[in-house]
Amino acid sequence: MPQLFAVLILLALTLVLLWLMRRGWRNRERAIRISELPALPPGPTPREQGTSGVYVATTLAGQPLERVVTRGLGVRSRVIVFVRDTGVILQRQGANSLFIPFSHLHEVGTTGGMIGKVAAPDSIIVFTWNVGDTLVDTGVHIRDTSARLTLLDHIAVNRSSSSGSTQ
């Protein structure tokens, strides 16, 4: 009988903890409001090979512990990164894909850590961009150094040609 009582207490405690975690996630979702995410560009995904990695998180810019969870941005997932002439597509598995237009992109940098992920130095690409009026940092971990450097170069070239054609 004492064992059954202990199991029931542990089960009740586990349920309370899960409920509190869900409540905290919902409160965070309500606290950080962002407008609609940019729509994916029309047309097929580019034919060239994308760069595989892991979507780490989206946080408020300059506040690496303030995770944005609204609109599915809090879901960590595998990702394939494609660069188009208008922006960067993050094709996520098990979550909504993201499009970061070059017109919304402020900065592209690298770091070794972001909320929930510590990695090798400079192995996480951080996109600082506007979602409506909110400036956010979106991190993608690319483990392969050569693939990461190639991706960064590809972004820089397409970004500069995109801004050059609009002026």
Interval 48-80: pLDDT, tens:
778 999 999 898 888 888 888 887 888 889 999
Tokens of 13: 């405690």
Average pLDDT of the residues in 121-125: 88
Place of tokens 């609609």: 36
Would you state the structure tokens that stand for residue 109, as one six-digit string?
């940098």
Q: If we measure between CA atoms, which residue out of 27, 20, 98, 86 comes closest to residue 58?
A: 98
Q: CA 113, 117, 121, 122: dihedral to nearest 10 degrees?
A: -70
CA 157 – CA 154 distance, rounded (Å): 5
164 pLDDT higher than 60 = no
Entry pTM:
0.76
166 pLDDT band, cuts 50/70/90, is very low
CATH 2.30.29.30 fits 51-166, yes or no: yes
Mean pLDDT of 14-39: 77
pLDDT at 102: 92
